[in-house]
Amino acid sequence: MAAGDDARFLEAGRLIFAGEADFKWAADKFESLPPIGDIEIAFAGRSNVGKSSLVNALTGRNALARTSHTPGRTQLLNFFDIGGHFTLVDMPGYGYAAVSKAKVEAWTKTIRAYLRGRPTLARVFVLIDARHGIKPIDETLFALLDETAVSYALVLTKADEVKQADLPARIEATQAAIARRPAAYPQVFLTSSHTGLGIPELRASVARLLAERDGGR
């Protein structure tokens, strides 16, 4: 991608996320999903990975997605209209042991059904805590995304809590882990909701994806 295109998508991403961002729907099971409409881009990750903070940083809001010191609070698929450009889907956090087994099973069933049955889902950004790296439960989600042929990209969060000298190795290890996965997007995004690191680039990737989808229509 030429430098001029990079600058264009950085600006396009900024404008997309600078507009309105409004809650539109919540669903606790597949049957409760909203009618199929706009392109959807979802955000998924283990509980306490910083997903709500990242969504808030992307949209420039402090409370679009609920944040909490108690992991596992996002128990629904939450849909947000991002200025009429696309629908952002905040998926339930997974992998938190304190949540009941029945609740985990219900979330898992809903997530699987959503990924399998949502033709407007353009990409899932899977968040990985940069301090801890990929865990087996993340790989379970990767396998499901590969199986359902849903494009996904990995986002390393909380980069400000990792030593600067260690970051290149974390990125390289993450890229290596998904190198042979058929539905994985090759670029790994390094972010910090606290410092704003990587937020413009992640917005730009959304703008680029939307442009590609529009061009394919």
Lowest mean pLDDT among 10-24, 92-106, 171-185: 92-106
The interaxial angle of helices 136-148 and 101-116, nearest 10 deg, is 30
Report pTM: 0.90
Q: 66 pLDDT band (50/70/90 cuts)?
A: low
pLDDT computed for residue 122 by the predictor = 96
The Cα angle at residue 145 between residues 166 and 141, in degrees rounded to 5: 55
Neighbours of 211 (CB within 10 A): 14
Asked whether residue 4 is domain-assigned, the answer is: no
Asked whether residue 133 is domain-assigned, the answer is: yes
Which of 181, 157, 174, 185 lies closest to 41, judged by CA? 185
Determine contact, residues 135/167, Cβ cutoff 8 Å. no
| pLDDT at residue 45 greater than cutoff 90 | yes
pLDDT computed for residue 110 by the predictor = 83
pLDDT computed for residue 190 by the predictor = 97
Identify the CATH number of the domain in which residue 32 sits: 3.40.50.300
Residue 179 tokens, joined? 């190198």
Total domain count for the chain? 1
Considering 53-67, 108-122, 200-214, the range whose residues carry the highest mean pLDDT is: 200-214
Asked whether residue 46 is domain-assigned, the answer is: yes
Q: How confident is the prediction for the chain on average, in pLDDT?
A: 88
pLDDT computed for residue 63 by the predictor = 63
